[in-house]
Amino acid sequence: MSFQEGDFVLIVAGDRKYLRRLTKDFSLNFKDKLLKLEHVLGKSAGQEVNGFCLLKPTLEDLILLGFERKTQIVYPKDSFYVAFKLGLSSQSRLLEFGVGSGASTAVFSSLAGEVWAYEVRQDFCKLAKKNWDKFGLCQNVRLENVDFKEAQVEEDFFDCAFVDVKDPAPYMEKVWRALKSGATFASLMPTANQVAQLLKVMEPLFCAVEVLEVLHRGYKANPERLRPQDTMVAHTGYLVFARKRT
CB of 225 to its own copies, least distance (A): 5
Segment contacting its own copies (CB under 8 A): 28-36, 73-81, 91-99, 123-131? 73-81
209 lines the binding site for its own copies (CB under 8 A): yes
DSSP states along 102-160? SHHHHHHHTTSSEEEEE-S-HHHHHHHHHHHHHHT--TTEEEE-S-GGG----SS-EEE
Nearer to its own copies, 24 or 227 (CB): 227
Q: How far, in Å, CA of 32 to CA of 6, rounded?
A: 26
Segment contacting its own copies (CB under 8 A): 22-30, 93-101, 128-136, 216-224? 216-224
Residue 89 gets which letter from DSSP? Answer: -
85 lines the binding site for its own copies (CB under 8 A): yes
71 lines the binding site for its own copies (CB under 8 A): no
Work out whether the CA dihedral 198, 208, 159, 246 comes out positive or negative: negative
Segment contacting its own copies (CB under 8 A): 26-34, 135-143, 145-153, 177-185? 177-185
139 lines the binding site for its own copies (CB under 8 A): no
How many residues can be counted in the chain?
246
34 lines the binding site for its own copies (CB under 8 A): no
- How far the first Cα of the chain sits from its last, in Å, is 50
Q: Which of 4, 23, 50, 191 binds its own copies (CB under 8 A)?
A: 191
b/e per residue 75-91 (b: at least 16 CB within 10 A): bbebbbbbbebbebeee
Q: How far, in Å, CA of 188 to CA of 72, rounded?
A: 12
Segment contacting its own copies (CB under 8 A): 31-39, 78-86, 114-122, 137-145? 78-86
Beta bridge partners of 1: none
Q: Which of 19, 54, 73, 188 binds its own copies (CB under 8 A)?
A: 54
Nearer to its own copies, 125 or 131 (CB): 131
Q: How far, in Å, CA of 104 to CA of 76, rounded?
A: 7
Contact 128, 63 (CB under 8 A): no
Residues between 220 and 239 that touch its own copies (CB under 8 A)? 220-235, 238
Nearer to its own copies, 123 or 213 (CB): 213
244 lines the binding site for its own copies (CB under 8 A): yes
216 lines the binding site for its own copies (CB under 8 A): yes
